[in-house]
Every structure is written in structure tokens, then in C-alpha cells.
Amino acid sequence: MWHIIDCEEGAQLIFGFSRDVTKEEFAEAIKENKLGTVLNSVDVKKGDTFFIKSGTVHAIGSGILIAEIQQNSN
């Protein structure tokens, strides 16, 4: 889980895909340096919380301070 402690205006994070993507499309997007075209960018604000299921592609954008709460997966 990610909790946004603070962020700059216009800050974004990556959370999942913007649409259904096949393994082949994903590999092609990486190869062509166009990964951003298939990833879901989310605008964030202070106080937002995101539950990120295991196996979900995710990344923190610039200008974001987060608390990442984890539990072991055993």
C-alpha cells in the first residue's frame, strides 16, 4: 500500500496498465521505448492511498513523498 505523505502539484505515479496488454505488446513497448503508452498514470494529491496488489506494475513519479506499507507474502 502506498500513502501519499506529500507531493508537488501535478505529480503522478504509475499504477497498472491503461488497457489490457498482451505479453507481446508489453515486450514491444519496452523494445521501442514506448512503455508510457501502455501504463496507467495517476494524478496524486496529499493524503491519497493506493492498495497495490502483488504483481501489479507500479512506479513512483518525481515530486512524491510516500509511505510504503508492506506485509510479508508467506
Query: pLDDT digit string (tens) for 21-72?
Result: 999 999 999 999 999 999 999 999 999 999 999 889 999 999 999 999 887 7
Amino acid at site 74: N
Q: Which residues contact 30 (CB under 8 A, 6 or more apart)?
A: none
**CA 71 → CA 6, 10, 30, distances in Å?**
23, 30, 30
pTM of the model: 0.79
* pLDDT exceeds 70 at position 74: no
Which set of grid coordinates corresponds to residue 58? 507500479
